[in-house]
C-alpha cells in the first residue's frame, strides 16, 4: 500500500510539472444574468485564496450566478424559502474545474427544488497539498460568513446541507463547527485522509459538526480517511479497491484517482436513479461478507440507511449514536446498486479436498454468477453475503471466525 501511494504521488508531481498556464474562467449570459464559470489556476502562481460562490437554480441548472456576499445576497436568484445545498470541492492538483461538478449540481436539482451554491476555491486548493490544507480554516470562515448572511435573510440553519468532497469534507466540518453544530446536514464524500487521520475532532469532520453527519468511504487505504467521522459512515466495498477501478499504474490518472472519486459518482448516481444503495450496520467488513449483519433493527428501527436519500425513512437522525459503520457492495459501473443476498449452505461431512461452488442469480433481465472456493476445513456451516449484478469470486478461510 505504501509503495502504491508513493507511485501515485510521483504521478501527481509529474503531471504538475507539465501543467500549462492558467486560463480565465468564462462567462456567458443566460436567463437575464451572467453565467460565471469556475476559475483556473496555475500552481506556479502560488496558492492565495480567491473564493467564488456560484448559485445554481432549478430554472438555470447550467448557469452559475456569481453571489456577491457584500450586497446581502439580495440582488441574485437565491430563494430563501427553499433548502440550500452547498458543494465544496477538495484539492485540485491541476488547478482546473472539477470534472464532476456539473453532474453533481444537475443531480441535486433533478432530485429536489433547492438552491445549490458551489464554492470555487480553485486558487487556494492548487499547488502543494499542504498549502491547500493551510487554507482550510480561512476558507471555512469565508463560507461561514456567507451562511451567516443567509441566516440573516431568514433561512433556517436546519435547511442547510453541505456536501464536501475529499478535503472539502473537512472544510464542511469546520464550517459546521463555527455554527455550533446546528446546521442541518453534512455529507462527506470520501473525506481526505492525509493530514487528517490523526487530527483532533475540532480539526476534521466530526459528528458534532451538524445535526446529521454522514460520510461515504471509497479510498480508505490511500487518499481517503480510514476512521469514522460521522453519525453514519458508509464503507463501500469495505471502503477501498472499488470494482471497475484499474489496479495497474499503467492506467495513469484513472489509477490515481478512481477509488477516491467513486464516492462522488455513487452519490450522483443515487440522486439520479431510483434503485437503492442500502447499507447494513456491522462491526467489520469481514463480518458483513460472512453474512452476520443483515439486521436493520439496531440502531435503525427496521430501515437501514441508503446513500443519497434526502430523508432516511424510519430513522430518527437526532437520536442516532455517533459513528455507526455500515457496509454495502456495489457494481463496477452506474447505477452501481446491487441486491444483497444471504446464501447459507451445509456440507454433510468434513471436506479433505478443495470444494468449488458456483451460484447463479437469475432475474428478468440479468444472470449473475458468484464462485465460491472452500478450502479444506472442519468448520461448518457457512454463511455468505453475495451481491447480484456482478461476477465475483470468494475464497472461504480454513478457520472458524
Catalytic residues: 166, 190, 260
Of 206, 44, 50, nearest in space to 121 by CA: 50
354 neighbors 375 (Cβ within 8 angstroms): yes
CA distance 372 to 289: 12
Of 387, 394, 278, nearest in space to 341 by CA: 387
Cis (ω within 30 of 0) for the bond into 381? yes
Bridge partners for 224 per DSSP: 192
Of 311, 317, 338, 163, nearest in space to 236 by CA: 338
Kindly list the distances between the CA atom of residue 125 and the CA atoms of 77, 79, 317, in Å, as whole numbers in the listed order.
27, 29, 32
CA distance 230 to 232: 5
336 neighbors 330 (Cβ within 8 angstroms): yes
Amino acid at each position: 500500500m505504501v509503495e502504491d501511494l508513493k507511485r501515485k504521488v510521483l504521478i501527481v508531481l509529474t503531471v504538475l510539472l507539465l501543467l500549462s498556464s492558467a486560463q480565465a474562467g468564462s462567462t456567458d449570459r443566460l436567463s437575464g444574468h451572467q453565467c460565471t464559470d469556475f476559475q483556473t489556476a496555475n500552481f506556479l502562481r502560488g496558492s492565495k485564496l480567491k473564493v467564488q460562490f456560484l448559485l445554481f437554480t432549478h430554472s438555470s441548472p447550467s448557469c452559475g450566478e456569481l453571489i456577491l456576499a457584500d450586497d446581502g445576497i439580495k440582488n441574485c436568484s437565491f430563494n430563501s424559502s427553499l433548502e440550500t445545498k452547498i458543494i465544496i470541492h477538495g484539492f485540485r492538483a491541476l488547478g482546473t474545474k472539477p470534472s464532476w461538478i456539473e453532474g453533481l449540481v444537475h443531480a441535486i436539482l433533478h432530485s429536489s427544488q433547492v438552491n445549490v451554491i458551489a464554492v470555487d476555491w480553485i486558487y487556494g486548493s492548487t499547488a502543494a497539498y499542504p498549502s491547500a490544507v493551510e487554507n482550510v480554516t480561512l476558507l471555512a470562515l469565508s463560507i461561514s460568513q456567507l451562511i451567516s448572511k443567509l441566516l440573516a435573510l431568514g433561512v433556517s440553519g436546519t435547511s442547510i446541507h453541505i456536501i464536501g468532497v475529499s478535503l472539502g469534507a473537512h472544510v464542511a466540518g469546520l464550517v459546521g463547527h463555527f455554527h455550533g453544530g446546528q446546521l442541518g446536514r453534512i455529507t462527506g464524500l470520501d473525506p481526505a485522509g492525509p493530514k487528517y487521520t490523526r487530527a483532533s475532532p475540532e480539526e476534521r469532520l466530526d459528528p458534532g459538526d451538524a445535526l446529521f453527519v454522514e460520510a461515504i468511504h471509497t479510498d480508505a487505504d490511500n487518499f481517503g480517511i480510514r476512521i469514522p467521522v460521522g453519525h453514519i459512515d458508509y464503507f463501500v466495498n469495505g471502503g477501498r479497491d472499488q470494482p471497475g477501478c484499474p489496479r495497474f499504474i499503467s492506467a495513469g490518472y484513472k489509477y490515481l484517482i478512481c477509488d477516491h472519486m467513486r464516492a462522488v459518482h455513487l452519490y450522483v448516481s443515487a440522486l439520479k436513479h431510483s434503485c437503492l444503495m442500502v447499507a447494513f450496520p456491522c462491526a467489520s467488513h469481514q463480518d458483513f461478507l460472512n453474512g452476520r449483519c443483515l439486521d436493520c433493527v439496531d440502531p435503525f428501527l427496521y430501515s437501514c440507511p441508503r446513500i443519497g436519500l434526502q430523508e432516511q425513512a424510519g430513522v430518527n437522525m437526532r437520536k442516532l449514536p455517533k459513528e455507526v459503520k455500515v457496509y454495502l457492495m456495489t457494481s463496477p459501473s452506474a447505477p452501481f446498486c446491487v441486491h444483497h443476498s444471504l446464501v447459507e449452505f451445509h456440507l454433510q461431512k468434513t471436506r479433505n479436498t478443495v470444494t468449488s461452488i458456483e451460484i447463479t442469480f437469475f432475474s428478468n433481465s440479468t444472470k449473475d454468477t458468484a464462485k465460491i472456493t472452500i478450502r479444506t476445513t472442519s468448520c461448518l456451516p457457512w454463511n455468505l453475503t453475495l451481491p447480484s449484478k456482478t461476477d465475483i469470486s470468494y475464497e472461504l478461510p480454513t478457520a472458524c471466525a
